[in-house]
Structure 1
Amino acid sequence: MSGLISVDEALALLAQHALTLPVQTIPLAAALGARLATPVTAKVSRPPAAVSAMDGYAVQLSDVGAPGARLRVIGDAPAGRPFAGTVGKGDALRIFTGSVIPEGADHVVIQEDVDRNDDTLVCHKAYDTAQFVRAIGIDFAEGDELLSAGCLVGPAGLSIAAAANHGTLSIYRRPRVGILANGDELREPGSALEPGQIVNSNPEGLGALIRQWGGEPVDLGVADDAMDSIRTRIGAAPGIDIFLPVGGASVGDHDLMRPAFADAGFTPVFEKVAVKPGKPTWFSTRGDRRVLGLPGNPASAFVCAHLFLRPLIEGGMRRALLNARSVSALPGPGRRETYLRACVHADTDGVLSVEAAVNQDSSLIRPFLTANALIRRLADAPPVAAGDLVEVLMIAPLE
């Protein structure tokens, strides 16, 4: 497909060419940031039995309905060593946080409310409702689905999978994303720069995003402004699922990325998108490999990574937009769908407000330090007045 296509058309084509990645079973400890291939269901209930929430004594509630109740201590049951007998009328069993509530007991008297002398217990507080007992399965029950297929495994996911008694998880292999920069003027961070040279900053930020989205970034280095140099970098990159060429995507004499990948056998799917920033974004395929070309300007590359690379890594999933009130007036976007770097915050009444960065120049990285969202402005939309609702795409957590 050639010509200028809409953002929605581009996303639909990316979904049609979603990667099919192999499924792997890996140890739980290695699963952070991986994408689940199958749901995680609980193999056990948590807790697996009713347990005490406090240190104290397991009793029958009816025995402690008035202050000064005297009870007989019949033993103790530390966590992990359940009591084999039954707590009867007038009995008390010494237990601890996490101890299994024994048969016959329905309440825990906390140790701060009692005096004990040998096997005699005096309770100074009256209770009218059962307390300090965690019922079986209050966190989750055996068979509950805890994590859905397709979700990224985060720290909380690791914890709940472990608590559900999973030692391994079934995940999709992380897609390997090869970042290929292009430009005679580019130098690595920390270099001594000569006149006309600039730092190649895109791989650092894009690589971090790729890891965050469940991919494995691979830095393929910087290709010179020459077809042979680009083709060499492509040929020397086995095992790449998604090539991510950055720069060299426009129509200048030195914009050689698309023809170089075409020479390497990749078929164009789309060649430019009616989006601002990021019009030169392009996409090609060859067998089970993909190429998503991004503009070289850092803001364009970052915005288009959020718009197009993330769904490609995530198997074509579309992300939901939110509504927020614009803090300031916004001009009409013109003929291309436009995405403005912005900061969303929740007002005291819970309503979301969004403030666009003052300078939206496509070369600027600094606005991303505070931006947690992109304001979406549809092509040819009218201007927005302060206080009007606009659509936003979250790119970082709401603070």
Structure 2
Amino acid sequence: MNGPLALEEAQERLLALAPPVRIEEVSVDQAHGRVLAVDLRAARTQPPADLSAMDGYALSADADAHSDSGSGPWRIVGESRAGVPFGGALGPGEAVRISTGAHMPEGADRVLLQEDASVEEATLRAGEIPPPGRHVRKRGFDFEEGAQVLSAGSMLGPAQIALAIAAGHASCMVAAVPRIAVLDSGDELVRDPTRCGPGQIPASNGPMLAAQLAPLGVRAARLGPVADDMEALARALSQAEQADILVTSGGASVGDHDLLQDALKRWGADIAFWKVAIKPGKPLLVATRDRPDAPPQVIVGLPGNPVSSFVTAFLFVLPLVRAAMGAAEPLPHSLSVRTREDLPPGGKRREFLRAVMEGQQVRRCATQDSSALMALAGADCLIDRPAGADPVEAGEEVSVWSLRTG
């Protein structure tokens, strides 16, 4: 088999295998984290009328001509509040008490702030008249009916949900969440962390991977832990028949007890590629498996060390799931940040150092071992160190991938 692939080539090849997007209709208020499948156009205009942006007094359009002294007076003839507009039109020299979000009365074109107003009984005066349009939200300034407000491929977060509802939609068409199974394997793994015998450790990778997928709306089916035994692996794989994507952890290398590749081949899977030139995470495996009357399954075999499993899930599994959900930009984005410390030259492989943001600078975690969960739990980003990179001095910029945005 050929040598390890570069990160970008491996990601490109994996995303090309993404299961086809399935579309379903959901309530907008239940669409958080989902990806919009079709463009969304406004079913109404926002604001639906000229509205006041502040509490105060709506003045008639002849305010300048009416007040030679620049202070009024105006006669207060009523009130307009949010949800209860003033019923008439303003005549010369008239004003209406108005609240934020209330409809501007017909004949009014500006709002005098209440803190700039002097009121005695029904007479209003001001030290200075606001110009036309001041403190007024014009009809349709946010969006007009028929305008495209969200594009297909947009991830629906809190602001996008608010926009869709404001645009008059109770439901929307989104990409269905792919069915995902997670299988962790190893003789040493124990499902119950309180019952570890000699030579055993808690099986933490399965729950970790499921938690990484959860923000995308995925409820992964957990199939492990499974012993390093061909029959046990075959039984576990048989439970993944309905999964669009199968994520495995452990057993993907070529040691005496690494049986996953052979088990997958016996199950009918074809290896698409194996090994990526990154650290941690070199022994990444990607395979596909044809199914009758269904699109091919995609299998991503992650390394068993927990940090390696986490980093490769971040770089490969999460983008694959986003692609299967129709995301316009499934891959994570890096940013440039200054390092707080000197960094040594890059090694033979591209390395992702667990690190912590401290203000506007980044500091690598003291421990970089691929089994160190304490360091991983304390990290909020990855420093991207290219293979063979020159040393970096404190204060220089490095490329960083935020783990908070995934």
Q: Same fold (TM over 0.5)?
A: yes
* Amino acid across the alignment from 1:38: V
Shift of 1:147: 2.8
Deviations 1:279-310 (A, max 9, x none): 11100001321000111111101111111112
The answer as to whether partners of 2:82 and 2:101 remain within 8 angstroms in 1 is: yes
Q: Which residue of 2 aligns with 1:76?
A: 79
Match runs of 1:122-201 below 5 Å: 122-130=124-132, 131-201=134-204
* Amino acid across the alignment from 1:312: L
Give the direction of change, closer, same or farther, for the CA distance of 1:3–1:98 in structure 2 (3 Å limit).
same
Ranges in structure 2 where 5+ consecutive residues have no aligned partner: 291-295, 324-328
Worse-matched range after superposition: 92-101 or 176-185 = 92-101
1:77 and 1:153 map into 2 onto residues whose CA distance is 35
* Amino acid across the alignment from 2:311: V
Secondary structure, in 3 states, of the residue corresponding to 2:388? Answer: coil
Q: Which residue of 2 aligns with 1:103?
A: 106
2:90 and 2:220 map into 1 onto residues whose CA distance is 60
TM-score normalised by L of structure 2: 0.89
- Residue 27 (structure 1) aligned with residue 35 (structure 2): no
The answer as to whether partners of 2:357 and 2:381 remain within 8 angstroms in 1 is: yes
> Alignment RMSD, CA only?
2.3
Shift of 1:144: 3.9
Ranges in structure 1 where 5+ consecutive residues have no aligned partner: 348-352
- Residue 121 (structure 1) aligned with residue 123 (structure 2): yes
1:9 and 1:180 map into 2 onto residues whose CA distance is 25
* Amino acid across the alignment from 1:43: A
Q: Which residue of 2 aligns with 1:4?
A: 4
Q: Which residue of 2 aligns with 1:42?
A: 42
- Residue 311 (structure 1) aligned with residue 319 (structure 2): yes
Aligned to 2:281, which of 278, 282, 292? Answer: 278
Give the direction of change, closer, same or farther, for the CA distance of 1:280–1:169 in structure 2 (3 Å limit).
same
Q: Which residue of 1 aligns with 2:293?
A: none
2:358 and 2:2 map into 1 onto residues whose CA distance is 40
Q: Which residue of 2 aligns with 1:350?
A: none
Q: Which residue of 2 aligns with 1:355?
A: 363
Give the direction of change, closer, same or farther, for the CA distance of 1:152–1:208 in structure 2 (3 Å limit).
farther
Worse-matched range after superposition: 31-40 or 103-112 = 103-112
* Amino acid across the alignment from 2:297: R
Worse-matched range after superposition: 121-130 or 47-56 = 121-130
Q: Kindly tell me the number of residue pairs found equivalent between the two proteins.
A: 391
Worse-matched range after superposition: 250-259 or 317-326 = 317-326
1:171 and 1:281 map into 2 onto residues whose CA distance is 30
Worse-matched range after superposition: 59-68 or 323-332 = 59-68
1:211 and 1:142 map into 2 onto residues whose CA distance is 35
Q: Which residue of 1 aligns with 2:346?
A: 333
The answer as to whether partners of 1:273 and 1:281 remain within 8 angstroms in 2 is: yes
Shift of 1:338: 1.0
